[in-house]
Structure 1
């Protein structure tokens, strides 16, 4: 009988197909949220596979899953397009967050979760005063862990899942709008959130989250006002792979080359195409 765990079998590829797919999904999700795959860019499965060192089959499944949560979508005969960041998207995310984050009024984290929130609040306070990129990235990861700890205590799991997705979109928008010369978005009120959760003060938690959403909106508006993208530019045709019957020379991107941005969207260098 075939035993895949036999010590006599080769161990060159210890990951099973499901693990490969999960790894590819996690890797590509990070690439999209961090704008490593620039908003509005288009690339083929082969190009993404080569760029990130992932198997074609795993990439195909991972992209389909990212498409289901609205981060990418397929373009016929061209590849996969990363969801562009637009004013409309930002407005939709803000509107949805105002409605959904009200569910945090009913959260009651357990003792272990509350202790972890206190630890995270201390770390975030230390990192907030440090301006280097590594500290900012680390601070954001701890802020997200704190918020995820709150969402884990939401009884309605469907609502919690939707909330996590909105936070994912918000992170990507921040990465897109933050320029090297701009001030990074301020840290969340971690200490106050931890204290409100410990006191079971759901009203205070929601008030803190609404204040954070307002700050996010103000930051996004300021970022859009710095953007030099021309308004009124006609977007590409729905079939991005054709141009008057001819194949487009700018579709897709191979490793080491700039991924194509759609007209009217901001490039990964912060300049409109």
Structure 2
């Protein structure tokens, strides 16, 4: 059921398609809908209490943003986690994020970012971070990103960045679910220090470094997960081969009629 009071839904737009898109995208990001999972329009209509036309419009929007895909005779599916998709995200972030170094930040913007950095520092100082605290730290990180991107005065670029960050979250959530390590949330202290002193090149270098850190971490986890899947597949194949050989062995050991004579 679509919860119109959810904090994940936009507070301004009353467009039901936009509201539904936000909710379904959140469920994909949170892992409620898994990579590669088939999406039945009928099931989605029943679950979100929406008409088929609205659900189809949402799926089309999500396909344009890289969260779902449509294949002939297969219907809709949640986008898979792939090396190609990861490289696309990394390349986009490397090209676009450094543009944020040139935005003009007001004193109020700087004050807000500094306050967020203070909260991040206090939270990160805890000896052991829970999953909820990590999520909170990343929420602060995204708040800073959206605040800075909002000063680009270029809605198209801001939209591209928001989509790249959403897709980054999608990949990160999935890849971290299967490992013990976590990508440290971005600390924006150095960025804001560079902006306050007019060192835009230094701010751009910081942004590139954060994009590179994301790519390095997720690529490593993706390679590791692929290795583990391949190892399991090889083990299963080896076990299957042994089983087949064991079944076939008695037949091979049976003397043929030609040999008895």
Determine if the TM-score, normalized by the shorter chain, exceeds 0.5. yes
User: Does 2:49 align with 1:54?
Assistant: yes
Q: Say which structure is richer in helix.
A: 2
Larger-gyration structure (1/2):
2
Normalised by the size of structure 1, how large is the TM-score?
0.72
Distance 1:36 1:197, change over 3 A: farther
Correspondence for 1:214: 212
- Look up the SS of the partner of 1:184 in the other structure: coil
Q: How far did residue 18 of structure 1 move?
A: 4.9
Correspondence for 1:159: 157
Aligned counterparts of 2:151 and 2:207: Cα–Cα separation in 1? 16
Aligned counterparts of 1:223 and 1:160: Cα–Cα separation in 2? 28
Q: How many residues align?
A: 217
Q: How far did residue 107 of structure 1 move?
A: 0.8
Correspondence for 2:255: none
Segments ≥4 residues shifted beyond 6 Å: none
Aligned counterparts of 1:35 and 1:18: Cα–Cα separation in 2? 26
- CA-atom RMSD, angstroms? 2.5
Correspondence for 2:83: 87
- Equivalent position to 2:94, from 98, 107, 115: 98
Pairs within 5 Å for 1:133-172: 133-172=131-170
Gaps of 5+ in 1: 1-12, 234-273
- Look up the SS of the partner of 2:229 in the other structure: coil
- Look up the SS of the partner of 1:178 in the other structure: helix
Q: How far did residue 145 of structure 1 move?
A: 0.6
Normalised by the size of structure 2, how large is the TM-score?
0.75
Correspondence for 2:114: 118
Aligned counterparts of 2:116 and 2:134: Cα–Cα separation in 1? 14
